[in-house]
Structure 1
Amino acid sequence: MKLFKILIKLHIVTPRGIFRLAQSFVKEGITLMALMRFAAKYYPGKTAIVSESDRLTYKQLYAKALRLSNILNQRFSVQKSDNVAVLCRNHTVSALLLPSLQRLGANTKFINTDYAEQNIRDIISRKKFKLLIFDEDFEQKIPTEFRYLSASTETLAEMLKDTACTPSPLPRPPFFKSPQISVLTGGTSGSYKEASRKPSVFQFLPPFFALLRDIEIHKYQSVMIVLPFYHGFGLCTLIISLLMGKKVCLARYFDADATIQTIINERVEVFPAVPVMLSRMWQKIGSGNNRDIEKYLKCIVCGGDRLSKKLINETEKILGSVIYNLYGTSEAGFFMLATPNDLSINPEPTIGKPLSGIRCKIENRDSQGIGTLWVRSPWAATSLRNRWQSTGDRVSVNAEGYFFYHGRADRMAVCGGENVYPEDVEKALCEHQSVVAAKAFAVPDKDFGMVLNAKIELENDADICCNDITEWLKIRIPRAAMPHRVEFGRLTTTSTGKICNRQK
């Protein structure tokens, strides 16, 4: 009943709302353009997108999306079933691309902006792309032999400003065969993987309902998206926020000072983030500056990496109980959620319980009950939908059904004949009051085969040395897992804000 009342408030299940939604599907096909049309009808004058110098209402956003569809169709001959690659950061044009390409029936493939030129060459060589759309910042990554089929987002932005030409009628929208959305990820490990989806209304509903019921995201009016669109949750947040008529603030990349300032200036209430982003933001807040953030930020949805108890406590100290822990994979989508109460009642950070409709199991458990998590999800990538798949993550579950993350199975290293996991070292390091973030990694050793080293990012005013770290770890991790070398410095992160597995 509670969920039904929420859907009424959002105009989704009212008689008029059902009529307008059906009308939008008839006009724009079973696409995200239809959802944009629906939002434009209900929230025409509300601010939809804030990005750099752009500030667009829902009516303006829908008009620009249609115009971009026309440009892609008429100027670049994009049509039904074509494959279009997108290599860009978050901004107005990138937000318009998905509904515009879907309206034409084209398949969209978001490429990780952290990929090297060789990765991009491999992807383009294996896929038959009609067009590659990129930010000019990444032009040097595009192999010369493929630049003939590319267009920059800056060029598309200039074309959108040209209103002299009358748009031609768009081709018939797709009704029965939904165009694919693919996310090419894997930036932390250096390799890439593809997760493809053919979005439908029914597959979209369960995670949408979870965000409404458990996070109550409908109560908030604004969201900031720093997570790139090729990150599954970044894209999901954009789509859901636009459907509900929220103000969406976009940022090309994460910068702690700039993010805090945008949250204050735009009165942002919801912020999806990865843990290291929060650590760096709270370090800035801790200096006594920008305390106004407390007035506006009401909901933080954290995911993508391990969430420490120390970070949960720091967040509660600044903002109160506002942090949610979201868990998922590129292939399965997000499928577990821990509420602030879940995080409070458990002594260790939990990734929560499976959402409705999800089945999970733990295989190959060790003596501590830790094993590999398998999931069966109805909204997984196309080839894995409703099929059991391994996440590759080590987890445990307690008697109350809460799951706990213990790291990646494929990061295990054999050090002196013992199995050690770098994440256990990282967890212990991140609980230190002077540590912002940490990364442990295996390196070859002539005596032990492999040993662990660590790189640590400290608070600005921290005054500790390697011996302090060794003493801190002695009582917290096994001897075989003790780092042989500790280095201090700022950690390298990907565009998603996750810490790279390979540190220099």
Structure 2
Amino acid sequence: MTQNLPLAHRLPDTSVPLLDTTVGESLRLTAARFPERRALVWPAGEGIAAMTYAELLAQAERTAAWLLEHAVSGDRVAIWSCNSVEWILVEYGCALAGMTVASWNPAWTDFECAHARDLTAPALLLAGSDTRGVSLQERGTAIMRAHLVHPLDDLLDLVASVEAGALPDVMPADLFLIQFTSGTTGKAKGAAMSHRTALNGAWLRVVAAQADESDVWINPVPLNHMGGAVSLVIGCMTVGACYVVMTRFDPAQFVRLMGQCGATRIGGVPTMIYALLEQPEWAEAARDLRAVGSGGAQVPRPLIERLMQDYGVTVLVAFAQSECPMISATLPGEDPLLAAETVGRPVSHTEVKICDPQTGATLQVDEVGEIRVRGPVVMDGYFRMAEATAATIDADGFLHTGDLASLDAEGYIRIHGRARDVIIRGGENIYPAEVEDCLLTHPAVHAVAVVAVPDERWGQVVGAAVQLCEGASATAEHLEAHTAERIAHFKVPRRWQFVESFPLTASGKIRKVEVEGLF
């Protein structure tokens, strides 16, 4: 007789108090508490520059006043740039002005930007540079009306003469962030986050890490990602910690900054951490290091053991989505090797259950199903996409994550795969449907299947199997150039196979498992 096991359903722990305020008011409170503490640090030549919390608040208030001269409270403001201090000032300026940040990926093509523009109708675009240092200003003026585009790199000059007067009242439930995320249907969706949602998503992240005002965080995750703009920027602010701004990941610069700033916490996907360990100055730079945070890919056990045994560093793994900035995490003091096997337990105020993807029934512990999440940091919905929202958040308020996992009796979550088709390249989520839609716009392409191909450096890269139209010809180089004009570089297929036909299911769908075997 089969014994009935407990259900894989973990109710929320509510022992940690939530923050019932806005992002802007939280910045004011932290600046009042730690006015002279470093808020931001960034490279300046071979040295570093810094901004205190009092200075950050003053600049953010001036930025808010400048924004209100060009738009009104409630408007969307697009930021299109690599990481920068100015990016963060606009984020906080929007928070204080009651405007909504709509961040664009600097790797996007004009096609992708036009979709984001049409979806969110931003009143302003602050354009900076991409990660190669190439200005996005000219492209921005072609995508938006020229008078709505302003140079992000000149922000400090733009706001220098602005008097920071009275700012509007902003409420915790007001919209703060539209975080773009690719979907299985192709074009990006905008996960809408209120001030309360974003602030508490960040707060629960630092609570789980047991961080405080003495911490110095370095993690070059892009600010157009939830992990950058919310978990790191806002997370550091909630406790008065210091955030180190990096334009992009550069191992040598990263390690140099660690030493110059006295970094206590760093983060990145495993490929980044391995690159840091190869730097000759690593051991000296890691002298103050307490923890390494990772996610977006499984953390190999040998990497955890090396960091733990050779450098006395705790490895912490967090699990989140654009639709929910914090779901689970491993904690300091736990068995460090849990970070290699699990993504920890649900964080405070987060209810998790594992369900049969077809029936919705809650499964038993250790059974594999879809992770469904309910709590105060689940997105409000997809911006102006009611049908997509209804398909993702059910009537009971549970977010259907699309991730396959099991929940054990102690509450630890083990990821087993993806219910939704997704390729994870160096921490970037790539949805095959978007790449397939792009390739099908080429006149020579009859059918295509995009799959994940294992890669030693990136974890996975994009592979495309292509069936050409009868009598047509096209090379991998031609198709690569075609996609590179329309989608971000990290989504472009780098492995190609040309086929006469595809293996099909009884319902006529391509058998992608068999396609994967071609690579």
The answer to whether TM tops 0.5 is yes
Change (3 A) 1:73 1:356: closer
2:317 to 325, 328, 332: 325
Question: In the alignment, which of 21, 26, 31 is matched to residue 35 of structure 1?
Answer: 26
Cα drift, residue 365 of structure 1: 7.6
Q: Distance in 2 between matches of 1:422 and 1:328?
A: 23
5+ residue gaps, structure 2, are 1-12, 130-134, 382-392, 424-449, 468-512
If the length of structure 2 is used for normalisation, what is the TM-score? 0.69
What residue is the counterpart of 1:65 in the other structure?
A: 60
Shift of 1:180: 2.6
- Whole-angstrom distance in 1 between the partners of 2:380 and 2:43: 35
Aligned equivalents of 1:48, 1:154: Cα separation in 2: 20
Moved more, 307-316 or 320-329: 307-316
Asked if residue 198 in structure 1 is aligned to residue 190 in structure 2, the reply is no
Is the 8 Å Cα contact of residues 108 and 181 (structure 1) preserved in structure 2? yes
Whole-angstrom distance in 1 between the partners of 2:205 and 2:295:
15
C-alpha contact 1:298 1:319 (8 A) present in aligned 2: no
In 1, are the aligned partners of 2:77 and 2:124 still within 8 Å (CA)? yes
- Asked whether the equivalents of residues 314 and 336 of structure 2 are also in contact (C-alpha less than 8 Å), the reply is no
Q: 2:140 is matched with which residue: 134, 139, 142?
A: 142
Work out which of the residue numbers 43, 58, 63 in structure 2 matches 1:52: 43
Aligned-residue offset at 1:205: 4.4
TM-score by length of 1: 0.71
| C-alpha spacing 1:81/1:412, structure 2 compared with 1 (3 Å) | closer
Q: How does 1:215-364 map to 2 (within 5 A)?
A: 215-218=209-212, 220-235=214-229, 236-282=231-277, 284-285=278-279, 288-339=280-331, 342=334, 344=336, 346=338, 349-364=341-356
1:89 aligns with 2:89: no
Q: 1:170 to 1:100 in 2, by over 3 A?
A: same
Using the TM superposition, give the Cα deviation of residue 370 of structure 1 relative to its aligned residue in structure 2, in angstroms: 2.9
Question: Do the aligned partners of residues 483 and 258 (structure 1) sit closer, same or farther apart at CA in structure 2, a change above 3 Å counting?
Answer: farther
Distance across 1 between alignment mates of 2:245 and 2:422: 37
CA separation in 2, counterparts of 1:131 and 1:254?
A: 28
Residue by residue, what CA displacement relative to the aligned partner does 1:234-276 show, whole Å, maximum 9, x if unpaired?
2222112123222221011111111111111111111232222
Alpha-carbon distance change, 290 to 484 in structure 1, aligned in 2, over 3 angstroms: same
Q: Deviations over 1:405-455 (max 9, x none)?
A: 123233389xxxxxxx977x84xx7xxxxx554326554388xxxxxxxxx
Secondary structure in 2 matching 1:217: coil
The structural deviation recorded for 1:113 is: 2.1
Q: 2:209, 2:282 → 1: CA distance?
A: 26
Counterpart of 2:52 in structure 1: which amino acid?
T
- Which residue of 2 is the match for residue 409 of structure 1? 419
1:149-178 Cα distance to aligned partner (Å, 9 max, x none): 111112222224x4xx46162343324762
Corresponding position of 1:397: 407
Q: Secondary structure at the match of 1:218?
A: coil
Distance in 1 between residues matched to 2:158 and 2:466, nearest whole Å: 57
Shifted more, 227-236 versus 169-178: the winner is: 169-178
CA contact (8 A) 1:220 1:270 kept: no
Q: Deviations over 1:272-329 (max 9, x none)?
A: 32222112222x24xx443212302211121222322233233324433411010011
Matches within 5 A, 1:176-191: 178-186=174-182, 191=187
Output the CA distance in 2 between the equivalents of 1:189 and 1:315. 40
* C-alpha distance 320-407 of structure 1, shift in aligned 2 (>3 A): farther
DSSP 3-state at the match of 2:341: coil
**Cα pair 2:125 2:140 within 8 Å, conserved:** no
Matched, 1:103 2:124: no
CA distance in 2 between counterparts of 1:265 and 1:319 reads 18
Residue aligning to 1:439: 460
Task: Name which structure has the greater RCO, CA cutoff 8 Å, separation 6+.
Answer: 2
Mark the CA change 1:113 to 1:197 in structure 2 (over 3 Å): closer, same or farther. Answer: same
1:274–1:191 Cα change, 3 Å? farther
Contact conserved, 1:68 with 1:97, CA < 8 A, in 2? yes
Higher helix share: 1
User: What is the RMSD of the two structures over their aligned residues, measured on CA atoms?
Assistant: 3.7
Mapped to 1, the partners of 2:52 and 2:213 lie a distance apart of 20
Q: How many residues align?
A: 407
Q: Deviations over 1:366-401 (max 9, x none)?
A: 999433222222211113597112211222233433
CA contact (8 A) 1:332 1:380 kept: yes
